[in-house]
Amino acid sequence: MSRRLGLLLAVATFVAASSPGAAQAPGSGAIPGSDGTLLPGGVEFAPLDATLEVVASGFGIPWAVEVLGEDEYLVSERFGSLVLVRDGDMIELEGLPASQIFPAPPLYLGGYNDVSLHPQFETNGLVYLAYVGEDYRMAVGRFDFSDRTVRDFEVVFQSNAFSIGSRIAWQDDDHFFVTQGMAGYPHPDPGAQDLGNHSGKIHRLHADGSVPSDNPVFDGTAGPTSIWSYGHRDTQGLLIDGDTLFSNEHGPLGGDELNVIERGGNYGWPLFSFGLNYDETPVGGMSEAEAAQTTVLPLKAWDRTFNMAPSGLVRMEASAFPAWDGAFLWGSLAQRRLIAYDPSTDRTAILLDDVGRIRDVTQLPSGALLILLDATDLETPNGQIVKVLPR
């Protein structure tokens, strides 16, 4: 079914009204923001000198964008659609499973989440889809997309629990990771610590969905399971850089995290967090020192003075914005910004301000950025794919 909505010709530009001045060292205090206010915690306002070009519009609640080529993408939508975007045309794909949505207005959870190409997509044509399906359980399926139609869809992994959000990252041609989030809103749910419950975990699987024999064996389990790490709240960004797996994660009130994922690691939720419960009480009963003895602390955490709700994750490499090569980028759903974090300098910066709820971000073959924006409301399907190009 085609739903050509046409290429929007509007092109927006994003330039700084004035220079933000020299960046201060992290943690040294606040600096002026785009509106003249002070940003806490040494966060820098460092706008890209960029042009924003809308290349497709009309999405409801988009979740992920996967690049097939410079102007060809797959976009998943939470309400159970997968859309092929080619040169601005939008084609809703058929032959995919129904999804389940859990309504918690204004949030709608579940549905279609991440879409990911197999590393050998050019030869095998395989695409993987993480979604909430039968009985409100997260699943991963795959299908042949070599001729740009869906063929031979099959479920390769069926979890035993719901997922608030899932991302996929490939370790190599035969192993992938998939996250399974659980926010526990408004109160923490202990399931992330339950090794019999798939929620709040990062799973590692063979390409056919079977469990690798070198996955960790946890106390109380007879052998390896799909679980690679646990104690996660809501992981909405995942990537492999070299041999290292990184994720970002939503905290409750503050406590957003960037993590290095270790085999068998316990990431602490809901025993400890740098954020607070929604009633402003501490999460769990551990001190940071105690948590460091029994859990894996984040590479970086941000307190509630810079509450982001991070989504999507890419590490810049040979990009069109070389000053940020080596930095991690993600969208901030809460702030409607594009955020960068450079681990070599411990520098957090706002690269784009007031652009909308960025659900996903990736880098194009040309080095330009591609961001996926949520619709402004549920009644108005105006979510967009936007190219971020150097001026």
> Is residue 139 within 8 Å of 153, Cβ to Cβ?
no
Question: What pLDDT score was predicted for residue 109?
Answer: 86
Query: What's the CA gap between 266 and 149, in Å, rounded?
Result: 40
Question: What pLDDT score was predicted for residue 184?
Answer: 60
> Is residue 314 within 8 Å of 360, Cβ to Cβ?
no
Please, what are the domains in the chain? 11-23+58-311 (2.120.10.30)
Query: What's the CA gap between 305 and 349, in Å, rounded?
Result: 14
Q: Using 50 as the pLDDT threshold, list the residues of the chain that sit under it.
A: 1-38
Question: What pLDDT score was predicted for residue 105?
Answer: 72
| Amino acid at residue number 286 | M
Look at the chain and count its residues: 391
- What residues contact residue 296 under an 8 Å CB cut-off, 6+ apart? 229, 259, 260, 262, 265, 266, 267, 268
Question: What pLDDT score was predicted for residue 259?
Answer: 99
C-alpha of 217 from chain center: 27
Sign of CA dihedral 202, 203, 207, 213: positive
Question: What pLDDT score was predicted for residue 40?
Answer: 66
- What residues contact residue 139 under an 8 Å CB cut-off, 6+ apart? 130, 131, 132, 133, 155, 157, 158, 159
Question: What pLDDT score was predicted for residue 186?
Answer: 54
Question: What pLDDT score was predicted for residue 36?
Answer: 33
Nearest one of 45, 41, 78, 85 to 63, comparing CA atoms: 78
CB atoms within 10 A of CB 286: 17
pTM over 0.75: yes
